[in-house]
Amino acid sequence: MGTDVNKVNLAEKFALFSEHWTPKIIAELNDYQIKIVKVEGDFVWHDHSDTDEFFFVIEGTLFIEFENETMELNTGELHVVPKGVQHRPYALEECKVMLIEPRGVVNTGEAESNLTASNDVWI
Amino acid sequence: MGTDVNKVNLAEKFALFSEHWTPKIIAELNDYQIKIVKVEGDFVWHDHSDTDEFFFVIEGTLFIEFENETMELNTGELHVVPKGVQHRPYALEECKVMLIEPRGVVNTGEAESNLTASNDVWI
């Protein structure tokens, strides 16, 4: 957990991996985890029944599809998806995103998917 | 609380104010608040006995002085100050920072100061 006692450089952390849709933990804030993820292509429809989910676009464009609209988040834009709200993230080109969630949240929520990732990988 | 159902553009939010050391809430994540602040000059020594504190430098250079060292955080770098750790932020030139803390945290912690700001201002 050395990342908690030193500064974290986002660009350096993003340079350490290339795979998509696999969030990596970079810091912890009480019982919350700060994660980074590279995304490209389609994710699955899902929700998190017990927590909001924070998306902050570090570089690129992230779309979040909701039941009645699609939100476009560009570099420097963020959104908090409220708990229980079905959403589907996707990106037309690779996009770098910061996520913040309580420790232990699964990326696909209640949805079973081959995109379900381990939720305890530090980088 | 309209900021929770719409996207938040950081640059647009930072353009709405000019004063220093007065965090503004831009979003909520469960019982946590995402805040932005412009800082320049010296802050006071303080700690938060019951919570970690997240600093993410959006633009500029933030120094955080600890008992035995001073950390330099540049654009794109972040650090989580553990609960109970005395620290003193300062900036030689204006610096834009994102903070994340539980709702209700006072910026100066236990320290009394004329830099103590309201902790419930949305922007």
pLDDT value for B105: 83
Residue entry with tokens 């450089």: A9
pLDDT value for A117: 84
**Exposure string over B75-97, b if 16+ CB within 10 A, otherwise e:** bbbbbbbbeebebbbbbeeebbb
pLDDT value for B5: 52
pTM across the whole model: 0.92
Tell me the pLDDT of chain B averaged across its residues. Answer: 92
CB A79 to CB B6 under 8 A? yes
User: In tens digits, what is the pLDDT along chain A, a chain of 123 residues?
Assistant: 333 458 999 999 999 999 999 999 999 999 999 999 999 999 999 999 999 999 999 999 999 999 999 999 999 999 999 999 999 999 999 999 999 999 988 888 878 788 888 888 999
- Whether B70 has its CB under 8 Å from any CB of chain A: the answer is no
- Residues of A with CB below 8 A from B9's CB? 76-77
How close does chain B come to A63, measured CA to CA in Å?
A: 11
The CA distance from B94 to B86, in Å, is 23
- Whether A12 has its CB under 8 Å from any CB of chain B: the answer is no
| Segment holding B89, helix H or strand E | strand B88-102
- Whether A63 has its CB under 8 Å from any CB of chain B: the answer is no
- Whether A97 has its CB under 8 Å from any CB of chain B: the answer is no
What percent of chain B stands above pLDDT 90?
A: 81
How close does chain A come to B79, measured CA to CA in Å?
A: 5
Residue entry with tokens 């309201």: B118
Give the best residue of B4, B13, B24, B32 to mutate against chain A (max A CB count within 10 A). B32
Q: What is the pLDDT of residues B5-57, one digit of tens each?
A: 589 999 999 999 999 999 999 999 999 999 999 999 999 999 999 999 999 99
Q: Which domains does chain A carry?
A: 2-102 (2.60.120.10)
3-state secondary structure at position B40: strand
**Closest residue of B to A14, CA-based?**
B76
CB A83 to CB B51 under 8 A? no
Res. B4: pLDDT tops 70: no
